[in-house]
Amino acid sequence: MRTFKSVVLFFFLGILSCSDQPETKEVIINWEEGESFGIVGTPFWGDVQMREARLWCQLEDADLDSYRLTVWNDSIEPATFKPILSGLANCVHFLANGLQPGTSYLATVDDGAYPVSDTLKFTTQTLWQYRTDPPALKLALGSCTFINEPEFDRPGDGYGGDYHIFQTMAKEEPDATFWLGDNVYLREVDFSSIHGFVHRYEHTRSNKELQELLAVGSHYAIWDDHDFGPNDCDGSWIHQDWSRRVFDAFWANPESVIPNAPELNVTTFELADVQVFLLDNRTHRVNHEMGSAQRQILGPIQRKWLLNALKNSRARFKLIAIGGQMVSDAAIFENFAQFPEERKLLLSELNRLDIRGVIFLTGDRHNSELSRVQLKNGNWVYDLTVSPLTSSSYDHTDEPNSLRVPGTMVGNRNYGIIEVSGPRKERVLAMTVKNADGEVHWSGRIDAADDYSLSMDSVYQSSSNK
């Protein structure tokens, strides 16, 4: 719950009175300390495209139909939008449409009479195709967000910490943040009811430091085991319908459905000239100990859809977000190497189809590292693992990953930054991994014009890497 003594908002009194010419005024609304503000946590922008933008927020009032989103700028009259998705835990999604590409807007949420949000800002994507070089793009990314709740946590020292990492990330001012799974950690007490799932999301979203990051840019998410169900769970998890309902309520990803598999939590979209794929590594997963004939992470439907979409993509860089490591050849824990048949098939198809510019974005491992493999045709496939944000961390230097780029193993809490820039045919993707205070651990660049070669600008000099 957010409470304010006073809030300055720009609001359009003409809308409330239904007049033809809205009047813009600065309104100062005073609340007494402890009085409800009508909105829970920080509203954030989910998918933002050229002509529409999706806003998430959670309301205190169950009468959701009275709420609306108002969008405006200096050049247009304000437009209002009703919720398009509402219900569970009073979460609502607003979809502002009819927008202009490459344009900045202001917005507020009101309850039909008074504003209940701060003034929000967003900018639609630029229509650059056939006109200019693609715009520069900056992404923040990370995984494994554990917010302590001693009443329900396992006994002992708190598993989470360094929450100020969210404030550090907010200062980066990314265009978008990618949440790479384990964005909440469901506890044993949560598994037996959908209300437990809702509580876990609400508890995580209530973190004070997190609010600053949610207010910056747009946000996209995938799930991994801890926001799907119990540790290391797979498609046998009996309450995956709860997992999906709560995920869809609390995130505002672009809508997408794979034909014949609507249960899969997947989508694809473009940011500048980058195509992003958000994959589901849980719903069709079969435990690797079930044997070579059955084990899988993606499954044939998702795998064929992904390969077809990659082949059709014209993007210089194709970022594929999925919870677990895909390139590492260390057959341990939940790595793709534990599923050798499907891993071999996927890499073989990437080779046969001559798909270039593939970079997996992964989490899960409580450490960060960069892995890469060169296919038979000479193409490189990369895997940037970024973990953890606030859960406990471990140095896995001794793991048998022969594909790790030297000097990239990081065993503390950290986050990643990706920046894509340059002329259309000479795009460069820069990667940086930083600690919770924003100090650089390592950085490198992938040059699309030089056969996606990697050059390291700096490497991490931990005691294990020396």
Read off the pLDDT of each residue in 39-45 and give the average, rounded to a whole number.
Answer: 93
Examine the pLDDT at 395 and tell me if it is beyond 60.
yes
Q: What is the pLDDT of residues 135-147, one digit of tens each?
A: 999 999 999 999 9
Q: What is the pLDDT of residues 348-375, one digit of tens each?
A: 999 999 999 999 999 999 999 999 999 9
- Provide φ and ψ at 450, rounded to 5°: -115, 50
pLDDT at 339: 98
Domain ranges for the chain, please list them.
6-123, 137-458
pLDDT at 86: 78
pLDDT at 12: 37
pLDDT at 29: 34
Structure confidence at residue 63 as a pLDDT band (50, 70, 90): confident
Examine the pLDDT at 21 and tell me if it is beyond 90.
no
Nearest of 80, 90, 85 to residue 112 by alpha carbon = 80
Examine the pLDDT at 133 and tell me if it is beyond 70.
yes
pLDDT at 6: 36
Structure confidence at residue 268 as a pLDDT band (50, 70, 90): very high
pLDDT at 85: 82
The domain made up of 6-123 has a fold known as Immunoglobulin-like (2.60.40)
pLDDT at 337: 98
How is the chain split among helix, strand and coil, in percent rounded to 5? 20, 35, 50
Strand-pair partners of 73: 76
- Cα separation of 185 and 144, whole Å? 8
Burial of 192 (0-12, 13-18, 19+ CB in 10 A): exposed
CB-facing half-sphere around the CA of 10: CA atoms within 13 A: 15
Burial of 460 (0-12, 13-18, 19+ CB in 10 A): buried
> Which DSSP helix (H) or strand (E) runs through 305?
helix 299-312
CATH number for the domain running over 137-458? 3.60.21.70
pLDDT at 463: 59
Structure confidence at residue 81 as a pLDDT band (50, 70, 90): very high
Examine the pLDDT at 7 and tell me if it is beyond 70.
no
Q: For the chain, what is the mean pLDDT?
A: 92
Burial of 167 (0-12, 13-18, 19+ CB in 10 A): middle
Examine the pLDDT at 83 and tell me if it is beyond 90.
yes
Q: What is the pLDDT of residues 272-330, one digit of tens each?
A: 999 999 999 999 999 999 999 999 999 999 999 999 999 999 999 999 999 999 999 99
Structure confidence at residue 23 as a pLDDT band (50, 70, 90): very low
Tokens of 58: 């959670």
Q: What is the pLDDT of residues 223-264, one digit of tens each?
A: 999 999 999 999 999 999 999 999 999 999 998 889 899 999
Examine the pLDDT at 15 and tell me if it is beyond 80.
no
Burial of 28 (0-12, 13-18, 19+ CB in 10 A): exposed
Q: What is the pLDDT of residues 405-437, one digit of tens each?
A: 999 999 999 999 999 999 999 999 999 999 999
State the helix-helix crossing angle for 340-352 and 299-312, rounded to 10 degrees. 20
Examine the pLDDT at 151 and tell me if it is beyond 70.
yes
pLDDT at 41: 86
pLDDT at 126: 98
pLDDT at 464: 55
Structure confidence at residue 340 as a pLDDT band (50, 70, 90): very high
pLDDT at 465: 53
Of 34 and 360, the structure prediction assigns the larger pLDDT to 360
Burial of 131 (0-12, 13-18, 19+ CB in 10 A): exposed
For 163-177, the DSSP string reads TTHHHHHHHT--SEE
Structure confidence at residue 451 as a pLDDT band (50, 70, 90): very high
Examine the pLDDT at 36 and tell me if it is beyond 80.
no
Read off the pLDDT of each residue in 99-118 and give the average, rounded to a whole number.
Answer: 95
Nearest of 430, 410, 428 to residue 418 by alpha carbon = 430
Structure confidence at residue 118 as a pLDDT band (50, 70, 90): very high
pLDDT at 38: 81
